[in-house]
Chains A and B, each alone.
Chain A
Amino acid sequence: MDKVVVSVADDSLDDLPTVVSALRDAGMVVEDVLETLGVVTGSVAPDVGALLGAVPGVSRVEVDRDDVRLPPIPEA
């Protein structure tokens, strides 16, 4: 499974449950729905991620980067 981050289009924010439901139907395992940001996080089978972009109300699909960290601390 690939972890993904999906953003919902502005004009679909008021109907977030419908978009989340459609994402599930498309094969996404939804972990979290961030209602204020209009972001849905979760995972999908490999190669399915790109298909989520075709789900009505979806704005963007990006890989959930797991390499975010505190910047290496230089020598003081």
Chain B
Amino acid sequence: MSQPTGAETTGRYLVLLEDKSVAAGAREMSRVAGISTAGSADSATREELAAADGVIFQDLGIAVVDATPDQVARLTEAAAAPGPISVVEAERVVHAYTVTDEAAAPPVDESVFTWGLQAVGANLSTVTGKGIRVAVLDTGFTVAHPDFAGRTAVTQSFITGETVDDAHGHGTHCIGSATGPRQPAGGGPGYGVAFEAEIYAGKVLSNAGSGSDSGILAGIEWAIANGCAVISMSLGAAVRPGTPHSQIFEQAATRALSKGTLIIAAAGNESRRPGRVNPVGHPANCPSILSVGAIDVQRAIAPFSCGTVDTIGQVDLVGPGVDVYSSWNKEDGGLGMRKRISGTSMATPHVAGVAALIAEKYGSRGWELWARLSQSARRLGLPSTDVGAGLVQTP
């Protein structure tokens, strides 16, 4: 008899019968060991089954039997000899595999807070971002957005011929995730992480969504001069693997850090997982700019999220970046002046918002703020090349 090692057994035995020898097998079990069996598919009555020592599954050619040690020995002897009994095994106790992945998690209730706020724990935090200045360098801001009534925003356009007014929508969405309301005036779920932070909206991308290095650097300079602890940049240019990072942006980032300003930038959306992972774009690929990838509600890496493919650009942290609900510059899609969109662009302001909360709570700036973001991030069961230290968490 083959005995499973280490496995829990039931005290019953499985008897494998030779193909097409079920009837002969039943007779043989009776003959050598005195075991009577009832068929599972024939017209055995409940009483016959109860009286029998076991049951045969005809289609499988397997019997499950109660047997004494003496009977087991004789069945095992028969299995070793030619005949209809092929194998005898102790019956094992089996268990369902414990479900550990979060794919089985129920859908998130977004009636009060977006899934993104819940994922970073902002809904459970008492820290608000009060007194912390957060710059979002993007397509501008819809200053008169009803969800921001009563908030002050310092604005500056670095795009020639365009005011800071966001005719695109992207900037307003990012500002919403970083610093928007927890209880929007117009109803719907709260979507802003650092909802009492001071908003600095720098327009470095045109209404068409494009910009230049010089405009972005001017925006960074402006944010530092205004004492912003955090700069959120959901922008970039795709790069090919092996392309060196900009030494000027790297130097700008280290100088910003020395002034107490942390630059957080989107890793980019050029991957097409699982087939293709593209490198972190410019300027997030600079070592001293904190690069952000995107995960979805199941804590899986977003298929578009750029990854670490060589030694140049690397993903440092991830934030919620799929199906993200936030403010928009106009009514578009039945959610009022709000919209659901996806991208590392959406993950980045979540991280910026969390950074503002940490800056408020601990007084951290610069490298210390970066360290606290990484130290407190929730580790995910995903490659560090995709998620860095993991999912940022609100203090």
Task: Name the residue of chain A whose CB is nearest to the CB of B270.
Answer: A71
- Of chain A, the residue at the smallest CB distance from B215 is A68
Count, chain A residues at interface, CB 8 A: 29
A73 to B169 CA separation, bound complex (whole angstroms): 12
- Using A34-B221, A70-B170, A70-B209 as known contacts, say yes or no to A59 and B345 having CB atoms under 8 A apart: no
**B253 nearest in chain A by CB position:** A37
User: Contact: B252 with A76, CB < 8 Å?
Assistant: no
For A34-75 the 0/1 string (1 means CB < 8 A from B) is: 111111010000000000000000011010111111111111
B157 smallest CB distance to A (angstroms): 14
| Given contacts A39-B217, A62-B213, A76-B323, A68 and B246 within 8 Å (CB-CB) | no
Interface size class of B (residues with CB under 8 A): 35 or more
Q: Are B218 and A34 in contact (CB under 8 A)?
A: yes
Residue B189 CB within 8 A of the other chain: no
- How far, in Å, is A38 (CB) from chain B's closest CB? 6
B225 within 8 A of A: yes
Partner of B248 from the list A60, A67, A70, A74 (CB cut-off 8 Å) is A60
* Interface Cβ pair total, 8 Å cutoff: 122
On chain A, the residues within 8 Å of B246 by CB distance are: 62
Stretch of B32-40, B232-240, B356-364 that contacts chain A: B232-240
Q: Name B240-284 residues within 8 Å CB distance of A.
A: 246-248, 251-252, 255-256, 259, 266, 268-270, 281-283
- Is B138 located at the chain interface by the 8 A CB criterion? yes
Is A5 among interface residues, defined by CB-CB distance under 8 A? yes
When chains A and B are docked, how far (Å) is the Cα of A71 from the Cα of B239?
Answer: 12
B216 at the interface (CB under 8 A from A): yes
By a beta-carbon cutoff of 8 Å, the part of chain B in contact with chain A is 138-139, 168, 170, 205, 209-214, 216-218, 220-221, 224-225, 234-237, 246-248, 251-252, 255-256, 259, 266, 268-270, 281-283, 302-304, 322-323, 340-345
